[in-house]
Chain A
């Protein structure tokens, strides 16, 4: 091997010993020590760190729950009740895990909203965005699998409805559904495999998160003004500045989630899930977890089985191609006077879809869901490409540090890929 390669030297001989054999010390120093963060990043940029912390919390609390859980249709419900009543601090583990799932989605939704509003998905971070959407998909699958495990009425019927979505696929649908369930309906075989997959998928998520973080560190984080770091004046080191800032965010998050865990642990739970699963009785009103409700609203808004399923999955898959639907070179919506409002409309619309997704699909609610569905897809297929074409962006700052001195570039955005103004090229070699 190459004995002449350059090895980082540290004061601590133990670190040097490790570094020579596995250059992990310099890696961490580079990625989490000296890593430059744009100095204008606000608290929206803390949600990636919060999501990582929540993922770890979910994995840890989940492992401890699994020590007392029994994945069998006759015993699953009782074993969860035993965790709640008899296992020491079992109630705490379970409430951390069930509310942690909801908070995980809140955090990830804010993280996605931030990426959309400030254009983080654009060149050169498209792959990063794709990995993120992939993580989101894995999260939805994992939360669905986990929701089945307590084996209450909502668990059973939620699993029945969702796995029946696959039966809408022509020709192979029924066979595929039976293969996924391991039975002709949701049963013990299903519960067993759902438990196995629910246990393993978070580790897959953890791996993809690793890629997601590695990818963002290649070109650095985006920022509220959507312009690149030009000089050292534009950035601060991750350590200690961003670490401390993320820690403050983490404290606020800890207060919020503790308030729910200790004072309203069932606020986001469905009452029917405290009734053991009964394959002969469907609850009068089946609802998904609120964080999946917007997609459920889309499913029900379509009066055709296959059409509804396709649009529901389409609503997620469309996110993958967002970087190519948006033709505008300007990243941040702060500098996009028209698109900004459509973007905010998209967020509001998503909320409305989630709201009607929790209500019966009848009358006015159905109408609202259909209008919401039209806006959802219209936003991606019509508004996003069209507005990028006609919109005249406002003037971008010359550099991040100029945001604070209010210098404005003489040219409007639209230079080379993501470089807002040609004038910026001058000081790249400083």
Chain B
């Protein structure tokens, strides 16, 4: 067998070569993995301005923002009351109604069920609205209340509130 010092030198060379090779391979794989992430133009998808002057009390519209449906609802007095009555502590995803709206008659939500991404029903008068009179997801039976909070069913979280600002009394800018 070879002498000890010689072995050490060989071990070192072998180990450093293998390490360099592994790092190099990882560095080579990275661009391929990263190329699957959303591209720059996808990320740059901008904001949307919506005219809300025509929405009557109790009415709700659906607009498209970054490929997703966004619900804009002008809530009735009863619906606002119902949303405020709820103790946040009792909810699966505790949140006060006041934390989910800027003006309490206007509710703005991303219309995507937090379970598996279906669009909940409840936008049309004829739709099922679920047991809490808000939205109902037909795919796997999640019920949302008049603040878009999850009350029953498999969804883990409340419907998302997108970033938005009131440009004036009749225009909302989403995004």
Contact = CB atoms under 8 A, between A and B. Distances in A.
Interface stretch (B11-19, B20-28, B116-124): B116-124
Interface in B115-141: 115-120, 137-141
Contacts of A285: 138
B66 A184 contact: yes
B94 interface: no
Interface residues of A, number: 35
A210 B116 CA distance: 36
Contacts of B36: 179-180, 182, 193
A281 B117 contact: no
B68 interface: yes
B53 interface: no
Contacts of A280: 62, 64, 69, 111, 119
B168 interface: no
Given A164-B115, A182-B42, A187 B67 contact: yes
Given A164-B117, A189-B38, A305 B156 contact: yes
Contact of A160 (B38, B118, B137, B153): B118
Contacts of B108: none
A243 interface: no
Contacts of A179: 33, 36-37
Nearest to B66: A184
Band of interface residues on B:
20 to 34
A182 B38 CA distance: 4
A184 B68 contact: yes
B39 interface: yes
A304 interface: yes
Nearest to A187: B67
A361 B140 contact: yes
B69 A164 contact: no
A161 B138 contact: no
A184 B38 contact: yes
A93 B113 CA distance: 37
Contact of B138 (A182, A282, A302): A282
B58 interface: no
Contacts of B69: 279-280
Contacts of B120: 282
Nearest to A160: B117
A183 B42 contact: yes
A165 interface: yes
A368 to B, nearest CB: 16
A304 B137 CA distance: 15
A346 interface: no
Interface string A283-314: 01110000000000000101111101000000
B67 A279 contact: yes
A306 B114 CA distance: 12
B155 interface: yes
Nearest to B67: A185
B154 interface: yes
Given A164-B115, A280-B62, A308-B154, A286 B37 contact: no
Contacts of A184: 38, 42, 66-68
Interface string A171-185: 000000011111111
B42 A157 contact: no
A183 B112 CA distance: 15
Q: Which of A280, A308, A361 has the most CB of B within 10 A?
A: A280
A182 B116 contact: no
Nearest to A284: B138
Q: Which of B64, B69, B139 has the most CB of A within 10 A?
A: B139
B117 A161 contact: yes
B118 A157 contact: yes
Contact of A189 (B39, B139, B154, B155): B39
Contacts of B153: 303
Contact of A182 (B37, B67, B68, B139): B37
A362 interface: yes
Nearest to B138: A284
A189 B156 contact: no
Contacts of A360: 141
B68 A161 contact: no
Interface string B146-157: 000000011110
B62 to A, nearest CB: 6
Contacts of A160: 116-118
Contacts of B64: 279-280
B46 to A, nearest CB: 13
A279 B156 CA distance: 22
Contacts of A193: 36
Enumerate the 9 nearest inter-chain pairs by beta-carbon distance, A residue then B residue, closest first: A164-B117, A164-B116, A282-B118, A161-B116, A282-B119, A160-B117, A280-B69, A305-B156, A286-B139
18 contacts: A160-B118, A167-B117, A178-B37, A179-B33, A180-B36, A185-B68, A279-B64, A279-B68, A279-B69, A280-B69, A286-B138, A302-B154, A303-B153, A304-B154, A306-B156, A308-B154, A361-B140, A361-B141
Given A183-B38, A184-B66, A362-B141, 15 more contacts: A157-B139, A161-B117, A178-B38, A182-B36, A184-B68, A185-B67, A185-B112, A189-B38, A189-B42, A193-B36, A279-B68, A300-B140, A303-B153, A306-B156, A360-B141
